[in-house]
Structure 1
């Protein structure tokens, strides 16, 4: 009897270990690529919307989506979310998003993160929704400091988009307080996204950061301080990621020696370790057919590969149509966006990463939920889950 029990116990241990190895290998297969979707956290009743007099319905930017009207014959608005107009600061709602995202191969969220007048904006999505979701640790996240000026672009009733509500630049004193918050309240979370153990943070507008803090030298000193504080918090370093578009200066005139004359030299000077894009509209004017727009955008990848010394992480956009934010027609849009076309560009991004084995295996997507800009992975009534299925097909199923 004793021998039988020992044999039974051995079988249990062996079988459990064998199954665990299978599960581990399966998990490794699914996480071979880090597929990160940008997240626009404006679909909840943030109190600061009242400060600027927008979205009185109390549902955040959902109001711009369900009130959107077609601007021309054949204009496909309003976009209708399959899940309805949910409050993303609700952890139950966010738990569903996390579950669906991970199931389809989106294993990282990049939260657009704001700091105006020395306090946060739209942070409740992350704090109350994502981080309090019961399955939050199933998914990693990191921040893109969206440090642009914020203005009437957000107001769908105002045709004048030049009005500024909040300035994106910060002083050194505000910057230091801001990064203490970032390090203590986000970097230290177990599921904060890291590369080589270093927490990753993107900066959307380098030029705005430089201007606000007093020039290139002071901006570098501030970023060096950020790295120092991150190391003091127990990390091996800080992984700064540049959002690459026209906001990165080609020349830094206030740097001694005047040696920084290219965008590549600029990002090296500040200590950035990788770069990606936020949206193809920053690279190629969004007009005409989606596929032609995308082909023009990804031609830049090889160019950046040779002109920059730091690695480029490929980015794919799903579409572009910002008309829900305008009371009159805005002709800046692309047409004929289809999940199968989106899938083609995902495959190209995967191929790019495969050809660069010594860089982070990171692909970024615009976006999880840029509904007001026509670029979203969340399911809608027209395509259902097809955009998410495209991600799964490429990065999990390998098709």
Structure 2
């Protein structure tokens, strides 16, 4: 088997939309959060500044072209675009649609449905809903959603596994009758000449409801959150003692989140411990989900200060040699487990300081570490 490909998460919220104008102010996009971030302590690397202050608009074809050329140069194998659909209502769809329209942007891609309700959590009000993700169990809505995605599934650049189009879902446990929906999507895929789909569930934390994952082909561990919420990290992550609360309805959970936000302060977590957990648990399967293929993900930094200010979660940045060593080890485990892809969080999640793109402080260091890791792994 050849070297596993790195697929980087691609975040689209760097352009204004009418809904965000209404909710957050005229012209709002995530660059506003990035620019306004302030340090929580001496030496805190905030605000982050993209190299040459290139606060780009991802709807622009030339921007996408430059990003793809850069990603290719340093060995990234594709993008996983976040997709937002609320029972027929699309948000932040323009970057992905621009990519689809411009066939000369020759780069592998897949789509992840980020199927969560949007709230004012950034401003300490997770109970305040901006747009609700209802997951209405209606075949007409399921078909409408599939039909929107169909041109992307048919695109020659779409990533496949076992000749099946890859699609991911961010929060499987939130979908009412999710098994029926995915069965119907598979039927529609066959009817449209695609063959079967390869559907991956994103795992953000300990799985409480195993039934919600049965209809999937694979499970992607979203890092650093999956390791951070693991039992191994519980001694440093007090909220893990309340993981049982995830069994409660979402309408009740939002009030616990509100209490947590009101009394929480920023925390700094050791990425050495996180990476120890990632590597020791890599490709281990949970009881009851032994038939699911595992996909791992990597990260270099995570710091959501731009979004949460004094209530941020901050994961330390390791040295260049440590980052490279960890990534090489994860790629080696992927190859040993015949996994074709390792995902990376993220290409451009600037408001959570999780990005591979160059910045004014470290230049192209992140991308160079990726390139060096791939070259080292191939020797």
Is the pair's TM-score, using the shorter chain for normalization, greater than 0.5? yes
User: Which residue does 1:36 correspond to in 2?
Assistant: 7
Q: Partners of 1:247 and 1:52 in 2: how far apart?
A: 32
Q: Partners of 1:383 and 1:135 in 2: how far apart?
A: 31
User: Which residue does 1:388 correspond to in 2?
Assistant: 367
| Deviations 1:187-228 (CA, angstroms, capped at 9, x unpaired) | 011101111221111111111112xxxxxxx32221111001
Q: Partners of 2:63 and 2:329 in 1: how far apart?
A: 32
User: Which residue does 2:175 correspond to in 1?
Assistant: 209
Question: How far has the Cα of 1:59 moved from its partner?
Answer: 5.8
User: Which residue does 1:127 correspond to in 2?
Assistant: 97
Distance 1:113 1:339, change over 3 A: farther
Q: Is the 8 A contact 1:38 1:364 kept in 2?
A: yes
Question: How far has the Cα of 1:132 moved from its partner?
Answer: 4.3
Q: Partners of 2:370 and 2:284 in 1: how far apart?
A: 25
| Deviations 1:270-295 (CA, angstroms, capped at 9, x unpaired) | 1x111212331233157432222221
User: Which residue does 2:302 correspond to in 1?
Assistant: 320
- Highest RCO, 1 vs 2 (Cα 8 Å, sep ≥ 6): 2
TM-score (normalizing by structure 1): 0.78
CA RMSD of aligned residues (A): 2.3
Q: Is the 8 A contact 2:154 2:194 kept in 1?
A: no
Q: Is the 8 A contact 1:305 1:312 kept in 2?
A: no
Alignment partner for residue 181 of structure 1, among 148, 153, 158? Answer: 148
| Deviations 1:40-97 (CA, angstroms, capped at 9, x unpaired) | 111112232113224x3x2611011111111222211000101510111110011000
Q: Is the 8 A contact 2:300 2:317 kept in 1?
A: no
The number of residue pairs the alignment matches comes to 337
Quick check: 1:165 aligned with 2:130?
Answer: yes
Q: Is the 8 A contact 1:283 1:297 kept in 2?
A: yes
* Structure showing the higher strand proportion among its residues: 2
Distance 1:167 1:341, change over 3 A: farther
Q: Partners of 1:134 and 1:188 in 2: how far apart?
A: 12
Question: How far has the Cα of 1:245 moved from its partner?
Answer: 3.0
Quick check: 1:275 aligned with 2:219?
Answer: yes
User: Which residue does 2:24 correspond to in 1?
Assistant: 53
Q: Is the 8 A contact 1:207 1:247 kept in 2?
A: no
Larger Rg: 1
Gaps of 5+ in 2: 229-236, 238-266
Distance 1:133 1:81, change over 3 A: farther
Question: How far has the Cα of 1:37 moved from its partner?
Answer: 0.5
Question: How far has the Cα of 1:101 moved from its partner?
Answer: 0.3
Q: Partners of 2:171 and 2:159 in 1: how far apart?
A: 21
Counterpart of 1:110 in 2: which secondary structure?
strand
Q: Partners of 1:308 and 1:343 in 2: how far apart?
A: 30
Quick check: 1:344 aligned with 2:321?
Answer: no
Distance 1:168 1:341, change over 3 A: farther
Q: Is the 8 A contact 1:104 1:396 kept in 2?
A: no
Alignment partner for residue 336 of structure 2, among 346, 352, 355? Answer: 355
Q: Is the 8 A contact 2:113 2:170 kept in 1?
A: yes
Matches within 5 A, 1:360-371: 360-371=339-350
Alignment partner for residue 49 of structure 2, among 75, 80, 103? Answer: 80
